[in-house]
Amino acid sequence: MKRKIRIAIPSKGRLKQPSIQVLQRAGVNILEEERAYVSKTSDPRFEAIFARTFDVPVYVHYGAVDLGITGHDLILEREADVHELLDLGFGKCQLVVAAPEKSKICSIKDVQAVARVATEYPNLSRKYFEGLGKQVEILRVRGTSELAPKLGLAQIIVDVSSTGETLQKNNLKVIATILDSTCRLMCNKISYRTFENEISEFLARLRQGGLK
């Protein structure tokens, strides 16, 4: 008998509710209290795992779960080698470089080689600045990188922005965009081989359920 297919979805944040709705559209309803990390679903073949958005790509890459929902930006940041089966459309955001409004840094050209960059995305930031030939110092922070310029920890930050509101509130301006991202349904490459029929059917139900 085949084991259950595990699907990881964000345990909190702006991606959580839309992700649960995605499962519902494919006819997979979460049955248990969401506080449980592992939940049964209305489809006995699937179980849902609640995980941190940043960790979902790692879970899928290693096959700890078979399917996962999270942002494209995070899949790239965690360098996960996975199938990105479907662009789910929601969770639109951009990974941007931002500086304080009053700062003299107005474009990426103004960024000095000695600049410190605070970010939750050290990999993508390093690659971006390396691509520009700028050897900046990358500081990895967890959450609220907006605070870093205020405290003098860093001159600029790299962070995701969907509406620009948070940046504005913290008196930060966007000086460059690194990439555009949306939420993706991803799949472990070996799981795709093992469960291709079930996963194709899941995808078909998702599309029928009105996903654009």
Partner 1 sequence: MFKFQDFDGKILALRAEMTAPVARIVTTRMTTMLEPIRLFYVSNVFRYSQFYVERGREFWQAGVELVGCNTSEVDGEILALLISSLRRLGLREARIDVGHASLLKDLLKTTALDEEKKGILQSLLAYRDEARLEKFMDQNNFPSRLREAILQLSCCRRLEEVSSVPLGSSEYGKAHDHLRNLLEVKDVLDDYGIENLVFFDFSLTRKIEYYTGMVFEASVPNLGLPLGGGGRYDDFIEKFGKLKLPATGFALEIEKCLQALTAQGFQTPEKTKAKTLVSSKFRNAAIKAVKVLRDAGVVALLDVTKSGEKKIMNYAKLAGIEYAVFVDSSLEKPATVHDLRSGVSRNVMIETFLQSFGGQS
Q: Which residues lie near partner 1 (CB under 8 A)?
A: 58, 61-64, 79, 83-87, 123, 187-194, 196
Task: Using alpha carbons only, give the angle 48, 54, 55 rounded to the nearest 5 degrees.
Answer: 55
> Of 13 and 89, which has the nearer Cβ to partner 1?
89
Who contacts 193 (Cβ-Cβ below 8 Å, separation ≥6)? Answer: none
The position carrying tokens 């410190």 is 116
> Of 111 and 187, which has the nearer Cβ to partner 1?
187
SS3 89: coil
Tokens, residue 88: 């789910």
- Are the CB atoms for 90 and 212 separated by under 8 Å? no
> Of 67 and 175, which has the nearer Cβ to partner 1?
67
> Of 74 and 86, which has the nearer Cβ to partner 1?
86
Task: State in angstroms the smallest separation of the CB of 183 from partner 1.
Answer: 13
Task: State in angstroms the smallest separation of the CB of 34 from partner 1.
Answer: 25
Task: State in angstroms the smallest separation of the CB of 192 from partner 1.
Answer: 7
